[in-house]
Structure 1
């Protein structure tokens, strides 16, 4: 990623190039990313190929003003942070399923970023932290999201990320390359066993809460609680455009849906 591409990316998330690559700037960059770039799996349901090259990710997230899932969002955000001068490592995660069982290796991609200490940065996990978490702390870390997070040591030198006492995912500490995630990215985007192939979803943090379009259900959460409504099929493209800034020329396909 060169400087002009980084500037275009910063413009996409409504941020400016930080004068100092410190923890405060990192916190601001993560929050602005979460408020601007949706977590979405629409490519899977549009029949679009998901590429993890930097060029493909820039074209999608910056050029087409789309979102993506963890491999895309954290992969590209990590490249931006590196261009800005932060030391960045890609970490492989295993998302915990119900019952507290961690998923397969490379189930998730998160970032370790150095800024006067190591930070966990994650803009690709949907509803998660607003701010980075200290990776070297084992104390509770309250977050503006309303959750209380904690990093705990796990077997084999891994780290577990807990939210309100419940495990979210397990992180390896060995640095990886983006190409290492390609096989699992392909599986997540093609296998009937992957939850990403079951239904289209698009979710975005807002200043007051979160909005999510899951299939045809539009969900709003905030200070007023949770509201949900069904969106008529002929209005879905408008909701994608006006609520998430995602402009599509056709609707994502819902598995098993007749047309």
Structure 2
């Protein structure tokens, strides 16, 4: 499972390009497989973790879809803000290939001490309120609040639509495409290309003529037009 998660992170980008290309986003199994596998694209949490859950289930893992509330300014957002996975082996594990810059490997859900991997330092603690929710931190910053109740992928469809269409969603503000590399991460946010290598970050603003080749060269994504905000 560790190997599968890291391989996915290094091969499938976290991206919001469909929103800025005017493409519909479907959480149906066939549509997800066509987009990620056949068309060699990526997606955001509902798509990536939704399809990864199908892969793990097909391989015999016991997978549960969990809803999470992403922290913004220290305040958790609405339910279904994020989709993450629980996988039960000899103990429960948090698996998440759809949060962008996050853990390289599954995290132990019952472990309260710090957990470290190539993606940083993570810690899981009980959230206030006594409902069994868990707060996940990344390098000391709150990432999201994970609920304990299981859901189906269809339960995330309304919030997926909101994330893809609302002016209040950060996904609609500018296109982003990001992927883990062997030594860090590469991200193309609108026209800014960001390389992080061994903790060192460099940025460059691309010319318009460089954008489509950059999507292909860095992420393996072939596009026939440039994603633009407001599409």
Under TM normalisation by the shorter chain, which class is it?
over 0.9
Q: CA deviation at 1:224?
A: 6.2
Q: Which structure shows the bigger proportion of residues in strand conformation?
A: 2
**How many residues matched?**
229
Aligned counterpart, 2:104:
130
Aligned counterpart, 1:193:
168
2:8 counterpart (19, 33, 36): 33
Aligned counterpart, 2:222:
247
Q: Secondary structure at the match of 1:247?
A: coil
Aligned counterpart, 1:148:
121
Q: Deviations over 1:89-125 (max 9, x none)?
A: 0000000001x10000100000001122110000000
The higher-RCO structure (CA 8 Å, 6+ apart) is 2
Q: Secondary structure at the match of 1:204?
A: strand
Match runs of 1:1-259 below 5 Å: 26-98=1-73, 100-145=74-119, 147-154=120-127, 155=129, 156-223=131-198, 225-255=200-230
Cα distance between partner residues in 1 of 2:92 and 2:199: 36
Cα distance between partner residues in 2 of 1:115 and 1:214: 37
- TM-score, normalisation: structure 1: 0.87
Cα distance between partner residues in 2 of 1:194 and 1:226: 26
Q: Deviations over 1:137-192 (max 9, x none)?
A: 111111112x2111101122101101122210001111100000000000000000
Decide whether the 8 Å contact of 2:125 with 2:134 is kept in 1: yes
Q: CA deviation at 1:45?
A: 0.2
Runs of 4+ residues over 2 Å off in structure 1: none
* Structure 2 residues without counterparts, runs of 5 or longer: none
Q: Over aligned residue pairs, what C-alpha RMSD do you find?
A: 1.0
* Structure 1 residues without counterparts, runs of 5 or longer: 1-25
Cα distance between partner residues in 2 of 1:165 and 1:117: 24
